[in-house]
Amino acid sequence: MSEPMYDLVAIGNALVDVLAHASEEFVAEQDKAHGMKKGTMSLIDEPRAVQLYAAMDSGVESSGGSAGNTMAGFASFGGKGAYIGKVADDQLGEVYRHDMKAQGVSHETVPLAIGAPTGRCLILVTPDGQRTMNTFLGASVELGPDDIDANLVASAHITYLEGYLYDQEQAKQAFRKAGQIAHDAGHKVSLTLSDPFCVDRHRADFADLVEQHVDILFANEDEIKSLYEVDTFEQAAKIVAGKCEIAALTCSDKGSVIVTGDQFIEIPAQKADVIDTTGAGDQYAAGFLYGYTQEMDLRMCGALGTLAATEVIAHMGPRPEIKYADLIEKAKAA
């Protein structure tokens, strides 16, 4: 077991977010006509992306993608991280790569030269701050096993994978390859379940993964209930206990629970003015994993996750607007 070069390497769909305000009526109409489910992520194809974009309000573009957001937050705490995710060799891809680099995250995945454009996620933010995501994967579907740099993954303390990768066969293979390399190197594998509908699509696979291959699991209330097809969060939390080393389960404004084989650690939520919940789960994972890689106790890991999630929901956009490292300093001083 070699000394890790990176604290964290994350693998995910590299997407540029297009955030726009939308009314409840607009989302309801889109649900009726196209099955867009409020608060969740739907996969859409390019013609539908063009159609939805044309119907949307003016937007703001920023780099996103679940695992990419987590890496940005992780680096904002001061963690040393790398990201594997595929953009195209186009303007939005350039923006994505710039932002990763600027955030201090290594991102060496070769951009797609020919074919699909950089993927994007059309995000509708309703007046209640909820976000409804519509993902056109674009170039990110071309992420495959060849994009997994074995040395990079083997050199990381934790390899973090997003459940969304399971939506594409090639990405799923990349996912499995990375998990294998990490474990062979004696390091940890972490997974986020991503979305309740994503869990629906891959329930058996995910349940097996959690039991056999995952050390640190992230899920929100809906996702963990969906995974075990139970009605209450408490039932789900009991089932997952001991299935993996750690499960960090978030319950939005009710806080989070960290579950191990023998502990249920409750972490209270912080008060927040919710503007846009995009990135909340991603930043919780960033804070938790930063604490974990710094060998903090689980309660502190949860507190850092909460700190990061609370910051990101107070503004539009899925990534920190301030340095999380400064937030820690402030919290220490207070």
User: Which residues here bind a second copy, judged by CB under 8 A?
Assistant: 20-21, 53-54, 56-63, 72, 90-92, 95, 98-103, 117-118, 315-317, 319, 321
Helix (H) or strand (E) holding 43: strand 41-43
- CA–CA gap between residue 162 and residue 160 (Å, rounded): 7
297 by Cβ neighbours in 10 Å (0-12 / 13-18 / 19+) ranks as: exposed
Which residue, 20 or 325, has its beta carbon nearer to a second copy?
20
- Say which DSSP state 179 is in: H
Least distance from C-beta 21 to a second copy, angstroms? 7
Residue 58: count of CB within 10 angstroms of its CB: 7
Least distance from C-beta 112 to a second copy, angstroms? 14
284 in Cβ contact with 305 (< 8 Å): yes
Least distance from C-beta 138 to a second copy, angstroms? 11
The full DSSP string for 102-141 is HTT-B--PPPB-SSSPPEEEEEEE-TTS-EEEEEE-GGGG
79 in Cβ contact with 289 (< 8 Å): yes
Least distance from C-beta 222 to a second copy, angstroms? 29
Which residue, 34 or 101, has its beta carbon nearer to a second copy?
101
Least distance from C-beta 47 to a second copy, angstroms? 15
Least distance from C-beta 48 to a second copy, angstroms? 16
Sheet holding 188-192: strands in order across? 81-84, 6-11, 156-162, 188-192, 216-220, 246-250, 256-259, 264-267
Which residue, 20 or 269, has its beta carbon nearer to a second copy?
20
Mark residue 292 as left, alpha or beta (left: phi above 0; alpha: psi -120 to 50; beta: remaining): alpha
- CA–CA gap between residue 49 and residue 18 (Å, rounded): 11
Give the CA distances from residue 148 to residues 67, 72, 200, 247, 285, in Å, rounded to whole numbers and listed in that order. 15, 20, 26, 25, 22
Which residue, 242 or 322, has its beta carbon nearer to a second copy?
322
Which residue, 102 or 331, has its beta carbon nearer to a second copy?
102
- CA–CA gap between residue 179 and residue 161 (Å, rounded): 8
Least distance from C-beta 12 to a second copy, angstroms? 17
Which residue, 142 or 276, has its beta carbon nearer to a second copy?
276
- The closest of 210, 220, 263 to 240, measured between CA atoms, is 210
Which residue, 24 or 61, has its beta carbon nearer to a second copy?
61
Least distance from C-beta 50 to a second copy, angstroms? 10
- CA–CA gap between residue 56 and residue 20 (Å, rounded): 7
Which residue, 266 or 321, has its beta carbon nearer to a second copy?
321
Least distance from C-beta 60 to a second copy, angstroms? 5
Q: What residues are paired with 162 via a beta bridge? A: 192
Which residue, 88 or 217, has its beta carbon nearer to a second copy?
88
